[in-house]
Amino acid sequence: MTEKFRVEELIDRLLLIETLNSTLIHFILSSQVEGSIDPDRADSLTQGLLRARKWMEDSMTADNVPQSTANMMGLIVKRLAQLENLLPKLSERAKAAEAGRQPTEEILSFLDETSPQLTRTGQPVQAQSKVIPLVEAAPSLPKEAYRRTEMEDDQWGLVNQGQQIIDQYSKRCHVLLPLFWLEAAREIHRYHSDSPMMEDAIKLPSEFLIKIIKTLLTEAPGARLLQDLYSKRPAETTLEPTEMERVQRAVAKYFAGLEELLRGQIPLVEDKISDAQTAFDGFGWGGPELEKRLIKRINQRCEEALHEATNNTEPARQVIFAEITKLLSKLHHATLAEPRMREVLSQMKT
């Protein structure tokens, strides 16, 4: 038997559609401005679309819904379904683009065989000359701005600190969400560079990530919510391959954003801050079924990073904090896109 038609509920769901619509518009415009698509954000939007469409379909089958209203709702459902089909394709292309990005491009330049060679006196050698240089100059390779290895260098003990907190609370709290943020810190520590700025590039974002872990496990409301979830949901202490892939892509994009800085050049700070502001403005809150209080804590950490990017007196650190803002936003969208993470946020709401 279908439910009775409730005007208030329908209004709420239509407002949800309007919110989703404005989020999609912001996603499209910000992607145009940035010149790239964030696949994690696209995937999180897909999850939101799926649930919004389901709610609209449920409303259509309720009793006492006027036929004209049902027809219009049917058009909305159809359009949402079309978007659901398009966004994953867009996401896959964006993932392929991110996966193809290399930390540095090694370009080898070879002399054209037809170009004239010079003698020790600087005079051109005749074409028929058989003189062979005693020492051939080796082609110079561009120096790597950074490189990723499989070895973590926990120089400041931040990864160990995060692991100890999780180990301490894992006996009474569900730790999948904190573990996700810890893996991001681990991944950051797998990157190495000879740049003097690399210390800040690793330490500063890791401090934010460890702070998020502490917030989730030791502060209200996260501590209580994760304790309650511990009794409802089986323990999950490792990330799945798709979850790790999102972490790795997010961190790779973070370091790609710092490449100029790690090469000793200061990018245009205003542009970096503008990009960070765009990422923060596009912060995803998910649907009404998700626990918003924990999401708000992540949003606060993003806001703190953006504040540092705007107000720090050192341009190099401004660039790093701007990229941290984008990193935290991207990692958050990854949690909204991954089914297990989204289920955790949903179960904590109930």
Residue ranges of the chain whose pLDDT lies below 70: 1-7, 9-10, 13, 99-142, 350
- Other beta carbons within 10 angstroms of residue 147's beta carbon come to 13
- Per-domain boundaries in the chain: 7-96, 148-349
pLDDT in tens, 101-159: 543 333 233 333 334 444 434 444 444 444 555 455 555 445 789 999 999 999 999 99
Q: Encoding tokens for residue 237?
A: 């202490």
- Write down the pLDDT at residue 20: 72
What CA–CA distance (Å, rounded) separates 256 from 336? 23
pLDDT in tens, 151-195: 999 999 999 999 999 999 999 999 999 999 999 999 999 999 999
Q: Which residues pair with 148 in a beta bridge?
A: 191
- Write down the pLDDT at residue 261: 96
- Write down the pLDDT at residue 66: 76
- Write down the pLDDT at residue 91: 79
- Write down the pLDDT at residue 135: 52
CB distance 104 to 259 below 8 Å: yes
- Write down the pLDDT at residue 206: 98
- Write down the pLDDT at residue 133: 52
- Write down the pLDDT at residue 214: 96
Given CA atoms 274, 276, 279, 281 in this order, what sign does their dihedral have?
negative
- Write down the pLDDT at residue 243: 96
What CA–CA distance (Å, rounded) separates 72 from 320? 48
